[in-house]
């Protein structure tokens, strides 16, 4: 569950940062439009063009962030399922073959202990 919480927290934080960048960029863009109009200097229009490009790139990154967040959530295991690594099977190869060949509804296995 902590992985999903981390994904959600990071997503919200990054999304908020992108929105803040877009808001500040929009304000700066409006100011730069006025500067370019008043000065009619080629450099002012070049800066304006670069700002517009950067704003569109931030919008693309925001869209990519949404897509990546959905992909990450799909990769998480279901809530009720736990991942088990490094299993140890104690039994003969015949027992293992029986276990592997069982149908899903027969997945419960009773192991009998032999007296030593």
Render pLDDT for 85-116 as a digit per residue (tens, 0 to 9): 777 778 888 888 888 888 665 555 566 666 65
Predicted local distance difference test score (pLDDT) of residue 80: 45
Residue 95 lies in a domain: no
Residue 94 lies in a domain: no
Supply the CATH number for residue 18's domain.
Answer: 1.10.287.1060
Residue 90 lies in a domain: no
Q: Say what the pTM is.
A: 0.56
Q: What is the tally of structural domains in the chain?
A: 1
Q: How far apart are CA 111 and CA 99, in angstroms?
A: 11
Q: How far apart are CA 77 and CA 91, in angstroms?
A: 29
Q: How far apart are CA 22 and CA 56, in angstroms?
A: 9
CB count within 10 Å of CB 15 equals 14
Q: How far apart are CA 95 and CA 93, in angstroms?
A: 5
Domain range spanning residue 45? Answer: 2-75
């Amino acid at each position: 569950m902590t992985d999903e919480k981390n994904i959600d927290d990071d997503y919200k934080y990054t999304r908020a940062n992108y929105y803040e960048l877009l808001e500040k960029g929009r304000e700066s863009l409006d100011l730069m439009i006025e500067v370019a109009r008043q000065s009619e200097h080629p450099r002012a229009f070049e800066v304006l063009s670069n700002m517009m490009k950067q704003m569109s790139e931030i919008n693309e990154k925001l869209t990519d962030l949404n897509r990546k967040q959905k992909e990450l959530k799909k990769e998480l295991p279901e809530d009720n399922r736990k991942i088990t690594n490094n299993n140890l099977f104690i039994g003969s190869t015949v027992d293992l073959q029986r276990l592997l060949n069982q149908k899903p509804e027969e997945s419960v296995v009773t192991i009998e202990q032999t007296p030593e």
